[in-house]
Amino acid sequence: MTGRKLTTGATLVVLVVVVCGMAVWGYRAATAPIEDDQPTASASPTCQPDDQKVARYVHRNEITVSVYNSGRRSGRAQDTMSLLERAGFKAGAVGNAPDGVKAPRAVVYTNRADDPAAELVAKNFGKGTKVVHTDEEMGPGVDVVIGDRFKKLDPAAPKRLELPKPEVTCG
């Protein structure tokens, strides 16, 4: 019987130590500051001033465009992508538009609010081309859905667009 009492006593002591340890850990975890996973916006990057690059414009060669065909004629998305590449844009994905997504001529989709890159792409598709903000991302970069009435890019479209405010990056 004494061995059993000794084992029971030792077990209780170990359990009390474990519970106390868990209580200390829980208290520290509950009172610790909450870390923010989102990067904080700062006025400038954390690199040296000599390494900083200030961008005042967005250029065609900095924008990736994905093209999707919502029209009846096949091959139009690839043809449009070729036009965009010749105009200086980077190629993204090419394919058919998702079900339910239609465009009579062309519609530009972006998941960023006030996206200068999407505005520059829209200007290249001509006056009246809408930029639509969406949470859905069809492909890499700016998404364009074309329809049967799209014929060609606007040859008078700008090659760059001024940013609302300069962006500072590490060079």
Average pLDDT over residues 85-91: 97
Distances, alpha carbon 109 to alpha carbons 22, 65, 101, 136, 169, in Å: 51, 10, 11, 9, 25
**Cβ pair 55, 166 in contact under 8 A:** yes
Task: Determine the structural domain holding residue 130 and report its residue range.
Answer: 53-170
Q: Using CA atoms, how far apart are residues 80 and 72, in angstroms rounded to an integer?
A: 15
In a domain, 40, yes or no: no
Residues 112 and 68 in one domain: yes
| Number of domains comprising the chain | 2
Say whether both 114 and 164 belong to one domain.
yes
pLDDT of 42 above 80: no
pLDDT of residue 91: 97
For the segment 38-42, the average pLDDT, to the nearest whole number, is 44
Judge if pTM exceeds 0.85: no
Q: Does residue 48 fall inside a structural domain? A: no
Which has more pLDDT, 109 or 38? Answer: 109
Residue 44 placed within a domain? no
pLDDT in tens, 8-17: 888 889 889 9
- Cβ(160)–Cβ(57) below 8 Å: yes
How many angstroms separate the first and last alpha carbons of the chain? 77
